[in-house]
Every structure is written in structure tokens, then in C-alpha cells.
Structure 1
Amino acid sequence: MARRTMALRKARAADRQKRRAELEHLLARLDRHTLLDTERPLLRARVEQLLATDADLRRTIAGQQTLVQRQARQLGAAHEAIREAEQDAAEWKKTAATYSGLHSSAEQDVADLREQLHAYRAVEAQRQAEPRPAAKHSGGNAEDCPACGPNPPYPFLCPGAPGTRADRVRAFLAEQTAHLPTPEPQS
């Protein structure tokens, strides 16, 4: 294909050179006023051919200029799209960095919470493993008694500690006054 194109170009160039030489010869004879009547139509044909070629070339150039302008607009739009894409990429990069920072912070928070949960479970397991003293009835209001539970039956009275009523009163008074200082014996 390239050889054929090159051969066509060479043939066109040779034809152009031949026409130019003929036209220069005819114009030189016209300047000397020695142009024959048979050469006048030949001169006219060559000039009309040049004018037609000139018009074709002008149309081609105009079309090429239009094409170049269209491609320049497309190139400008492509550059604008690239610029916008780069700006969007920069914004997404900032957003990704923000989310990455939040993600690493959240991962650290989750790790801290897991560590706290592990410590809490260890303490709770230790507390559950310790022997508890048996709950004792306190007497009085059953809702306040650890042995009666949170929902005692009606009439909400604790049966009290085993023993006599006097023992329960003494135990109650001792419990209530345990925090008071004991008086010094008087001499």
C-alpha cells in the first residue's frame, strides 16, 4: 500500500511539473505577443484547470480547518474531562484517607473494647467462682430481704431469721448501731 501511494504521489508531482512548464511557456509567448490562435484555447484550458484545482484545494483546506477546529474542541473537552477526573480522584483520595483514619481509629476502639470485655469477663468469672455466703432472712419487708428474692409473695413480710423474736430484735439493733462508737465505761 505504501509503495502504491508513493508511486501515485510521484506521478501527480510529475504531471504538475509538466502542466506548470506548459503554462510558463504559454505565458512567456503571451508576454512577447507571439501566442498563436491555436494556443489560446490551450492557455484558457490550463488556467481554468488551475482555477478548478485552486477551488478544490480551498474547499479541502476549509474542510480540514473545520476538522482541526472540531478536533481542537474535542481535545479541549478531553483535557477538561481529565482535569475534572484528576480533581475527583484527589477528592476521593482525601475521602479515602479520612475513612482510613476513621477505620484505623475504629479498629483501635474495637480492640480496646474487646480488651475491656475480656477483663470484665475475667473479673466476672472470678466473682462467680468465689463462694457466696448463704442469704439470710433479715426480717421486716420481704422486698428488702436478700433471701426472699425480688418478687416475694403477698403480704411482703420476711419470715425473719430463725430464732425468737427477741433474738431478731437484738440482731436488728446490733446491725443498726454497729457503726456508732461504743461508750467508754465510766469509772
Structure 2
Amino acid sequence: MLDSQTEYETGWFTGGYDRVRQPDGTEKQYYWAELSTAVVIVAVAEDHVLFVEQYRPTIRETQLELPAGIVEQGESFTQAAERELREETGFEASSLSLVQEFWTCTGLLRHRRGIVFAEGLSPGERELDSNEFLTPKAVPIDDAVAVARAQPTNDATIEGLLLAKDDGLL
């Protein structure tokens, strides 16, 4: 790395580039966007997975996806999952466990993501943020992967379900 420049900062993301000397001696700028660490929750109640339906302005479509959100300063992935699950769906989990944490889209993003499995759900009150307009939807476990793969879809939902299924949680 020869240099790193930040060109754009918002409360949501930071963007810039790193100037790198490549193995052949040439130099190249690699652009990146840095996003806050996020958590995705695979929440299971009896024989259903809890999804949320919401409109995503970036793709201009409404989709079913797993509950998710930003990991706040000082929170673990499971603490963030507990909070986000309650805020977005109103459900509280008696058990939460980290399935996987990883970097996403490493060719462009600096973004960590954790997948958390939640079970033993009991209903409570939702605490939606002012920009959240979503509806919880229960999907039978046997249909969850197919629902996640139906367009429109997103990487976090597919990753979360496939990792939970591979671990024998679904």
C-alpha cells in the first residue's frame, strides 16, 4: 500500500481508494466503500423462519428478507441480533448463537457481517426506527430457502439461510 485516500463520508458509509503497488511493480487505485458491521438473524419459531417484508429504495422493490441491522459500538453480534430482532419484529429469543462472521464483497466493500441463529421466540412490542416500514412474516422452514431465492432477493438472506441449513439448524 502506497497511499489511502477517503473521498466521501456520510453517516452511512465512507468511500475512497488505496493506491497499491502490484506484484509486477505497476501501481493501481483500488476503490472501496466502508460500511458499518451488520448482523443478520435467522429466527426460528416452531417450524417457521421469521422474515420481514420491506420496500428497498435502492432496488425499488419490496422483498422478503431476514431481520438485520447495524452492530452498535460495544455490541457483540448476538447482542445486536437480540436488539434488532426485538426492534424489527417484536420477538425476543431465549437462545442466540453466532453461526458465522465474515467479510462481504471484498473486491469493493470493507464490511463485516455476522449471521446469528435465534430460537425460543416469544412475542413482545416492536420498536421500529423512523425509517423502518416492515412487516414480519412467518415462512415454513421447508419453504424458507425457496422464498429467499425468489426475486427480488439479497445476499444476506440467502447466506444466512444456507449457513444455518448447512449447520443443521433448519
State the TM-score bracket (shorter-chain normalisation): under 0.3
* TM-score normalized with structure 2 length: 0.19
Give 1 or 2: higher strand fraction: 2
Which of 1 and 2 has greater Rg? 1
Q: Which has the higher contact order (CA 8 A, sep 6+)?
A: 2
